[in-house]
A = this chain, B = another copy of it.
Amino acid sequence: MAKKKKDIRREFIIEEAAKLFKEKGFGGTSMRDLAEQVGMDAATMYHYISSKDEILKTICFDIAHTYITQLTEIEQAQQPITQKLKALIGLHIRLMTTKGPAVSVANNDWKFLSPEPLQEFKNLRSRYEKKLASFIEQGVQAGELQEVNASVALFTLLSAVRWVELWWKPNRGVSPEELENTILTILFNGLEKEKP
């Protein structure tokens, strides 16, 4: 029980840290800023987390592992490649509407990781991108997808959703479902209406 309370506090500190990193940058945020944000004195806060580096590492790998877990599940599912890709890109969009600050940190501040986790993070990302590119290649070969260069298609898909973390807010008048449906429609069916 005591353990659980400690975990909850730790998660709270990490979530607040992600908001600060997103707003002021990793370099621009001090542990003092964070202590103020979470309303604890520094000594209390250090009971839950040891350093800014540890927080950054936790945020980046939490997001990376969410992607990898989903990828592993989807890989094993029996469904068309298009459905697999849609599920993965949908996850990117949903993560930004539910964990916007953490995604922003994993997208932008990963380069401030210390050397060892930095290399590990880059490896994970690279493996993830290669797997997605191979999905695209399979889809092209199976005649499901247009005949595109897999790298160009991959980066177009991933880049096309990146703006969401900067723009989407609950009060934008676009629900998370509409957002996801619209983006997936554009990317997989095209913005242009099919000719009748």
Binding site for B on A (CB under 8 A): 82, 85, 136, 143-146, 148-149, 151-153, 155-163, 167, 172, 174, 178-179, 182-183, 185-194
Nearest Cβ distance between residue A84 and chain B, in whole angstroms? 12
Bound-state Cα–Cα, A159 to B193, Å: 21
Residues from chain B with a CB closer than 8 A to the CB of A189 are 146, 190, 192
Cβ–Cβ contact A193 & B163, under 8 A: no
Bound-state Cα–Cα, A186 to B179, Å: 18
Could you list 13 further interchain pairs (A-B, Cβ under 8 angstroms) beyond the known A146-B189, A146-B191, A190-B190? A82-B191, A82-B192, A144-B193, A146-B185, A148-B185, A152-B182, A153-B182, A155-B163, A156-B187, A160-B160, A186-B190, A187-B187, A188-B191
Cβ–Cβ contact B188 & A192, under 8 A: yes
Residues from chain B with a CB closer than 8 A to the CB of A82 are 191-192
Residues from chain B with a CB closer than 8 A to the CB of A194 are 194
Cβ–Cβ contact A193 & B143, under 8 A: yes
Bound-state Cα–Cα, A82 to B192, Å: 7
Bound-state Cα–Cα, A28 to B184, Å: 38
| A to B CB contacts below 8 Å, 24 in the list | A82-B192, A85-B191, A144-B192, A144-B193, A145-B191, A145-B193, A146-B192, A148-B182, A149-B182, A151-B174, A152-B174, A152-B178, A156-B160, A156-B163, A157-B186, A159-B160, A159-B161, A159-B163, A160-B187, A187-B187, A187-B191, A189-B190, A189-B192, A194-B194
Residues from chain B with a CB closer than 8 A to the CB of A144 are 192-193
Cβ–Cβ contact A155 & B167, under 8 A: yes
